[in-house]
Amino acid sequence: MDENVVVTPDDIGDLKPKMKVKGKVFKTSLAGAIVELGIDVYGVIHISRISKEPVARVVDFIEEGQEIEAWVYKVNPDEDRVQLTMIEPVDVEWNEIKPGTEYEGEVVRIEEYGAFVDVGAERPGLVHISEMDYGYVRKPTDVVKEGDTVDVRVINVNRRKKQIKLSMKAMVKPPIEHAKEDAAKHDEPVPTAFEAAFRQAMDKNGENGLE
């Protein structure tokens, strides 16, 4: 659903959460506002859903008779209740974010310890520098820059603190897996650590003319 497309409902049954609607403020109160939606049921906006900023007085943000745009927050056709919000809903809700879930996101901020990636949730998630690559990463900008699109996997989520820990390296195969695949393609056995060290020593001796 495109949350920026305004929907014109015929009745309450047409309304779904995150739908964008237009309406006219019918009445304001200390607790919020009542909005005419052009159907038999009014929409209600609680004061806490008028703005991300603290709202002390509803009339400082909206007035009676004003045309507004809002999103459906909750709808209950059985009770003829429609709750609205003027705060644009996020693409990904907290209850949808679980370890193992994969997303494509945008790098929005870089710190010394990692990069923050916007996956469409209320807050960006953190890819710690240790989760950027399997090899040593000296600084995050060696791997990503702001504006990059990256694939990430959720490794931990703390809904109480609203923190999301992400991994980029979890989205790619470890180097040993690549080595095994390459060896399999050429029907060559993967050398053991001893064999690899022995070959390296032999190659070095050859370069020094010690064969």
pLDDT tens for 150-184 read 999 999 999 999 999 999 999 998 876 655 555 55
Name 211's Cβ contacts closer than 8 Å, sequence gap at least 6. 205
Burial zone of 131 (CB within 10 Å; 0-12 exposed, 13-18 middle, 19+ buried): buried
pLDDT of res. 173: 85
Residues of the chain falling short of pLDDT 50: 209-211
The confidence score (pLDDT) of residue 7 equals 81
pLDDT the model gives residue 175: 78
Strand pairing of 6-7 and 20-28? parallel
CA 68/CA 145 separation, integer angstroms: 38
Q: What is the pLDDT of residue 31?
A: 95
pLDDT for residue 211: 44
CA dihedral in degrees (158, 160, 161, 162; nearest 10)?
A: 70
Q: Which domains does the chain have, with CATH numbers?
A: 6-85 (2.40.50.140), 94-171 (2.40.50.140)
CB 5 within 8 A of CB 33: no
Residues 16-39 have pLDDT tens digits of 999 999 999 999 999 999 999 999
pTM for this predicted structure: 0.64
User: What is the DSSP-derived secondary structure letter of residue 199?
Assistant: H
